[in-house]
Chain A
């Protein structure tokens, strides 16, 4: 079973920030939070990952709560091309660990 839970769908107005939540209450101390997104009929695209500190890159920001039981992916200025299914997973860095994907959040960016 997936170790994360996400809302099934969200809408966001174009140009506004999209905030996608994820719960991972059973995360282990050495597991990172990873975010991917999947645009229709494509393979998942890596977005960002973090352990406990907030992270930012050219695509998004990741906010992880102090107890690490939840996180939020922030797309600062959503565009229509950001419409996709966003998956939050937890795993150790590298290594053999297999990961089960949950159902993700379908983000619809509205013009």
Chain B
């Protein structure tokens, strides 16, 4: 099983709503990632979890709150978002790479988020 699943596929939310994005993998990967991707742009790293602990936060606004309940699950809680936060949100996972290991990241299909 080399699949990363994400739910929902599409989400429309108002600026006062609270919603959550979910990501799941069963490959035994201990590193999990959230990326944001705008149209015709590359993915931008938001957060990295390693062994269920937050290890990288790329100066993401607090209206995005990640959570890693266990080694297979990764959530992204959304609150008071702005229209400019509309994007494709990608989850990825990988083995925990040391220097020189390939251990590529496997991406989920993404959640298409629209903030109105």
Q: Do A and B come from one complex?
A: no
